[in-house]
Amino acid sequence: MKVDELTLERAVSELAGIIGWLVYFGKLYLERGNDALEEVKSLGAKIVKKELDETFSKITYYVFIMKAIATLGRARWKNILNDVVAQVGKKVTNATISRDLRNLMKMGFVEKEGNEYRIADPIVKYAVLEEY
């Protein structure tokens, strides 16, 4: 089966080159064609949701931090703080945001590049945007 190059480029871009998601995309593409990418994102979000639910149940601000980063795409620390405060409607300490960001990075959910934070896995980002 021949796959359109634009379709492949879009899949690699939207799945951030993560091999596991790309393999799953390839399998679904053979079965379903052009709908495969959206289906990978949707099914992948359901798979990671359980892990996210467990993580978010431990610390109150994890979900708000992840939503801020997912919404902004790439976010500076101050932008994350401002977004979290807007979501919860009350002041949040700098120490709380710093600690929780560090923990989310240790868990592999968040990466820091220069002065910006981003969600490491595009399926996790998709799940956060769609489910929370």
- Based on the domain organization, do 106 and 57 belong to the same domain? yes
User: What contacts 111, CB < 8 A, 6 or more positions away?
Assistant: 105, 117, 118, 119, 120
- Based on the domain organization, do 39 and 99 belong to the same domain? no
pTM of whole model > 0.75? yes
* 69 close to 104: Cβ distance less than 8 angstroms: no
**Each residue's pLDDT tens digit, 17-60:** 888 999 999 999 999 888 899 999 998 899 899 989 999 998 88
For the chain, percent of residues with pLDDT exceeding 70: 100
**Each residue's pLDDT tens digit, 66-98:** 999 999 999 999 999 999 999 999 999 999 999
* 104 close to 62: Cβ distance less than 8 angstroms: yes
What distance in Å separates the CA atoms of residue 9 and residue 104, rounded to the nearest whole number?
Answer: 29
- Based on the domain organization, do 44 and 54 belong to the same domain? no
For residues 14, 75, 97, 114, the Cα torsion angle rounded to the nearest 10 degrees is 100
* CATH code of the domain covering residue 76: 1.10.10.10
- Based on the domain organization, do 43 and 92 belong to the same domain? no
Exposed/middle/buried for residue 5 (C-beta within 10 Å: 0-12, 13-18, 19+):
exposed
**Each residue's pLDDT tens digit, 28-38:** 999 988 889 99
Residue 17 sits in which domain range? 5-48
What is the count of structural domains for the chain?
2
- Based on the domain organization, do 65 and 104 belong to the same domain? yes
